[in-house]
Amino acid sequence: MSADLDSIIHEAREAVGALAGRAQFEALKARFLGPNGSLTEAVKGIRDLPREERPDYGKRCNQIKTKLEAILATALKKIELAELQRSLGPPVDPSLPSPDGGPGGCHLLSSVREEICRIFHKVGFNVEEGTEVETEFYCFDALNFPSDHPAKDVHDTYLLPSSVIYGNVPKRDKESYLLRTHTSTVQVRVMMAKEPPLRFVSPGRCFRRDTADPTHTSNFHQVEGIYVDRHVTVKDLKALLDYFVAALFEKDVKTRFRPSFFPFTEPSFEMDLKSPSLGKLSNQWIEIMGCGMVDPAVFEAVGYDPEVWKGYAFGMGVERVAQSLYGVDDIRYLYQNDLRFLEQFA
């Protein structure tokens, strides 16, 4: 009987050397320690021994079991280490250069936004930012939107229920909150907080209930700018924007103003540009932004005297500028996080 127990240890030591994975390990473990395993059967045989031999034999079985478990534990550690190495790949030599692609780059929209701000900063414009959740006053009322303007309709804006803002606290006024539809809200807040003259741009994310298509999405980005001082004219506005598009597109660019309407500017214009270096859009007039002279009603809403202060404002979609600059024909590509697309502009 003792010889049989020794053979179990010998057999186990030979078998663990041939293990190739966890499944084979579990099968080997069951072969010795399972309900029908060889050591289990040996322990069951104690009842067939004479009473005086049982203690020594039982003690010997326990010793063999301890040795067997140690052998199996060592084998399991080797298997786990091999699995870990397979999951991590080959060993890494820290003295070698990194095999990855290096540091990441800016998203195309981030790069274009920063370039727009950089160009305006060179001519004295600061950068101001504001909250994305706004009130109707800052988003519409202070910007001369009439109470029945379509932009206030629930089909065009993301109005927030009172419970989202106030919770269980009783609402103390009639003001509604919404996700801002433009970054003009930043202009109102800055003008109410600071005295003129002012000159700044306000980049940020905006939200409208647009159906996604190649040129529209419900979440987009704007850069808006405003200049407030004495004796500001349309000529100053045109000169600034001509400088901007020339610096951005770096080629022979022509611009034109078309009469338009915005509640917060009077007169208002759409600005188009034409360039020979825009791929399929070369030498075609492309609408690039809206602009105009700040409406006196806006100055009155923020506490400026419109008889003293004049100003111009402009705003553009970052996505539209990026599409024009880099020939992206579908705005949705900018949000799909496809590295094959994004790495082209890194």
Q: What is the mean pLDDT of residues 11-23?
A: 85
Q: Does 207 score more than 70 pLDDT?
A: yes
The pLDDT assigned to 1 comes to 52
List beta partners, residue 260: 268
Round to whole Å and give the CA distance between 102 and 270. Answer: 42
Q: Does 2 score more than 70 pLDDT?
A: no
Residue 25 phi/psi, 5° resolution?
-65, -45
Q: Does 101 score more than 80 pLDDT?
A: no
Q: Which range has the worst mean pLDDT, 78-82, 140-144, 278-282?
A: 278-282
The pLDDT assigned to 169 comes to 47
Q: What is the mean pLDDT of residues 314-332?
A: 91
Residue 77 phi/psi, 5° resolution?
-60, -40
The pLDDT assigned to 34 comes to 86
Question: What's the whole-number average pLDDT of the chain?
Answer: 87
Q: Does 273 score more than 50 pLDDT?
A: yes
Cis ω before 90 (30° cut-off from 0)? no
CA angle 160, 162, 163 (to 5 degrees): 105
115-121, Cβ contacts within 8 angstroms, sequence gap of 24 or more:
115/248, 116/201, 116/203, 116/223, 116/244, 116/248, 116/316, 116/318, 116/321, 117/201, 117/203, 117/223, 119/244, 119/247, 119/248, 120/201, 120/225, 120/244
Q: Does 305 score more than 50 pLDDT?
A: yes
pLDDT confidence bin for 170, thresholds 50/70/90: very low
The pLDDT assigned to 339 comes to 86
Q: Which range has the worst mean pLDDT, 58-67, 114-123, 171-180, 292-301?
A: 171-180
The pLDDT assigned to 317 comes to 94
Q: State the amino acid at position 56 in one-letter form.
A: D
Q: Does 10 score more than 90 pLDDT?
A: no
pLDDT in tens, 40-85: 888 888 888 888 888 888 888 888 888 888 988 998 998 888 888 8
Round to whole Å and give the CA distance between 7 and 192. Answer: 92
Q: pLDDT above 90 covers what percent of the chain?
A: 46
pLDDT confidence bin for 162, thresholds 50/70/90: low
Q: Does 147 score more than 90 pLDDT?
A: no
